Structure 1
Amino acid sequence: MSSSEITAATESVAAVDAVRAGAVRLDQVTHRYGRGGEAFTAVGPVDLTVPSGEFLVLVGASGCGKSTLLRLIAGFERPTRGSVRVSGTEPRPGDTAGVVFQTPRLFPWRTVRGNIDLALRYAGVDRAQWPQRRAELLARVGLEGTEKRRIWEISGGQQQRVAIARALAAENPLILLDEPFAALDALTRERLQEDVRLVAERTGRTTVFVTHSADEAVFLGSRIVVLTKSPGTVALDLPITLPRGDIDAEELRSSREFAELRAQVSHAVKSAAAA
């Protein structure tokens, strides 16, 4: 096979991958805020392909454009230049992806059940299926038995679990998480990291997770992208070969391979922020 034939075959495979459910493709994406002399470029140019089923972590110092990229992928904003595609089409807010923010953004006057049911309603799920789907979602995030509790009656970590369950309600093939554990204590954060990692493995959904923590990035991701300081561009694109699935989290975190990858990512983040 000639080099031109190999190139054509590679491009053909890439084109197919780009339209699979949950796949993300950013082509020469640049995004600017403001106008005139006050305008500034937040990110770009960025070229990035996230295959269906991958767990991608965007990591970098504060202000590098991680959350901006997430909003572009969610469809909350449109890029100034370039294109964003999810499953081969332009992203549609509230439709192409489930989103979990830094704060849960739940309805405090509703119960846990009420918040989940509202998400199921917006997702177009038949009302007769709500009890079964609700039970499945709460079990998936470890919140069995909390249906009747008000949001203000549960802990911050449990509230974030409800937010994750709500994001999973529509069964979108793509889940986006913007530093969802930043405000939690260390123990709760580690437990939720383990939960999110396991949920991603069991559902097979494409996941894009934003963090500034090298430790969190290495534990969660099957791939890590480190961004430079503003305007954010790709400084490092690193596949993670650590075992996934049902694993002992403490054993993984204490392994030599984990420590080496964490040091590599941490160095890359610091170098990118100082450049």
Structure 2
Amino acid sequence: MSSSETATTAESTTTGHDGAVRLEDVVHRYGRGGETVTAVGPVDLTVPAGEFLVLVGASGCGKSTLLRLIAGFERPTHGAVRVTGAQPRPGGAAGVVFQTPRLFPWRTVGGNVDLALRYAGVDHARWPEHRARLLARVGLEGTEKRRTWEISGGQQQRVAIARALAAEHPLLLLDEPFAALDALTRERLQEDVRRVATQTGRTTVFVTHSAEEAVFLGSRIVVLTKGPGTVALDLPIDLPRGDVDAEELRASREFAALRARVAHAVKTAAAA
């Protein structure tokens, strides 16, 4: 068994749940009476355990709405959302990473992770061990005593990812977490997230506008139509995962072909 498979097995044993997601005839509206706006739906979608699903589409197509429904932050107007067979509840179903890190500035890097460990119910005596493992997983060894304003925006997002992993939920949700970062930092963090997802085996749902980001990260891509968002394309991505050179992958013909296909689907769906 490879090291990544060993890590996946260990993680699955720790969480004890598979993280599978099921959306059944989901429709979500905002407003009341005659002022309602349908944001998304109807959507039927199954995300098997361990899959890395990327939701991609133009602004206003309902990507973030679907993510909030899966996280349990909102309830669908119609239909049902299930995570591992149960209705999701905030904080109980998934680790969530937002567009901005949302760190506590009065706490150190380690202190932000410790707070997540506290809410996850990890025994206090085991915090140092868990904190070190989480920070190492996102490439932040040796930063635990630094203040959040002393690290870069990309490093802050790494802290946010480490914090989302602290509870060891079987599901990880990321809502355009790299949108505000420069291109180089964004690529590096894409590589980090891809590696973490492979190592942990967690079910992952990632929201983006970028066809290139979607193809690099996802084992499956769902393109949404313009609002109300419905599924325009459901595409499995058959690219190497695990130990792979990121630059070689991005430069490959297979990658370019998939990126072009997804970009065309996004453009067509937005214009329909």
Could you tell me the TM-score, scaled by structure 2's length?
Answer: 0.94
Counterpart position of 1:204: 201
Counterpart position of 2:242: 245
Tell me the SS of whatever aligns to 2:163: helix
CA contact (8 A) 1:173 1:206 kept: yes
Counterpart position of 2:212: 215
Larger Rg over CA atoms = 1
Distance in 2 of aligned mates of 1:145 and 1:202: 21
After superposition, what is the alpha-carbon deviation per residue over 1:197-216, rounded to whole angstroms, capped at 9, x for unaligned? 00000000000000000000
Unaligned runs of 5+ in 1: 1-18
Distance in 1 of aligned mates of 2:103 and 2:18: 27
After superposition, what is the alpha-carbon deviation per residue over 1:49-89, rounded to whole angstroms, capped at 9, x for unaligned? 00000000000000000000000000000000000000000
Q: CA deviation at 1:21?
A: 1.5
2:33 matched to 1:36? yes
Counterpart position of 1:151: 148
2:212 matched to 1:235? no
Counterpart position of 1:55: 52
Counterpart position of 2:76: 79
Counterpart position of 1:257: 254
Q: CA deviation at 1:20?
A: 5.8
Q: CA deviation at 1:35?
A: 1.0
Aligned sequence identity (%):
85
Q: CA deviation at 1:37?
A: 2.1
User: Does 31-40 or 162-171 show the bigger shift?
Assistant: 31-40
Tell me the SS of whatever aligns to 1:181: coil
Question: Which of 262, 265, 269 in structure 2 is aligned with 1:268?
Answer: 265
Distance in 2 of aligned mates of 1:231 and 1:239: 23
Question: Which of 85, 94, 104 in structure 1 is aligned with 2:101?
Answer: 104
CA contact (8 A) 1:20 1:52 kept: no
CA contact (8 A) 2:225 2:231 kept: yes
Distance in 2 of aligned mates of 1:200 and 1:169: 14
Counterpart position of 1:164: 161
Q: Which amino acid aligns with 1:52?
A: A
Counterpart position of 1:15: none
CA contact (8 A) 1:74 1:93 kept: yes
Tell me the SS of whatever aligns to 2:222: strand
CA contact (8 A) 1:20 1:88 kept: no
Could you tell me the TM-score, scaled by structure 1's length?
Answer: 0.93
CA contact (8 A) 1:57 1:220 kept: yes
CA contact (8 A) 2:40 2:228 kept: yes
Q: Which amino acid aligns with 1:31?
A: H
Distance in 1 of aligned mates of 2:18 and 2:51: 11
Q: Which amino acid aligns with 1:196?
A: V
Tell me the SS of whatever aligns to 1:48: strand
Distance in 2 of aligned mates of 1:163 and 1:173: 17
Distance in 2 of aligned mates of 1:239 and 1:82: 25
Matches within 5 A, 1:18-37: 21-37=18-34
Number of residue pairs matched? Answer: 257
Tell me the SS of whatever aligns to 2:53: strand
Give structure 1 regions of 4+ aligned residues with deviation exceeding 3 angstroms: none
Distance in 1 of aligned mates of 2:92 and 2:102: 18
What is the aligned-residue RMSD (CA, Å)? 0.9
Tell me the SS of whatever aligns to 2:110: helix
Distance in 1 of aligned mates of 2:112 and 2:52: 26
